[in-house]
Amino acid sequence: MTQLQDLATVIRSKNAGPLTLSLDLMFPSEESYRIALRSSSLTPEAIGRLYDTAPEKISVTSYDAARAIKIAMPRKIVSGSPGDRDVYGAQQHVPLLGLEL
């Protein structure tokens, strides 16, 4: 198996507003992109297990022209609320790094 971090050139997270987290994956080649698209590790169900979020609240969208995949899900805590340890959502991609595809 191959890890996502070995295929993708970009793995990042960021807020998409105060209530939504966006995970962006970008790939250097059509082959690496297609491997990721075929992987059962990038389904809403698999991402839901990884992030402890209901799959029906997760959106996985592919952009063929950019060889990119965007995953959107609700944040566990509203950005900037008391207890929020990542106001920008910029550290939430870490669980994806070692993901086996």
CATH number, domain containing residue 23: 3.30.70
Distance CA(74)–CA(90), nearest Å, equals 14
Say yes or no to pLDDT of 89 above 90.
yes
**Rounded-to-integer distance, Cα 96 and Cα 79, Å:** 21
Whole-model pTM: value is 0.93
Q: What are phi and psi of 3, to 5 degrees?
A: -85, 150
- Under 8 Å between Cβ of 48 and 62: no
The domain total for the chain is 1
Give domain status of residue 87, yes or no: no
HSE of 55 in the Cβ direction (CA atoms, 13 Å)?
Answer: 8
pLDDT digits (tens, 9 = 90+) for 33-87: 999 999 999 999 999 999 999 999 999 999 999 999 999 999 999 999 999 999 9
What pLDDT is attached to residue 10? 98
> Within a domain: residue 90?
no
Q: What pLDDT, in 10s, does the model give residues 3-36?
A: 999 999 999 999 999 999 999 999 999 999 999 9
Q: Show the domain range for 41.
A: 4-76
Measured CA to CA, the distance from residue 34 to residue 18 in angstroms comes to 31
Predicted pLDDT at 1: 79
Nearest to 14 by CA among 71, 60, 83, 58: 71
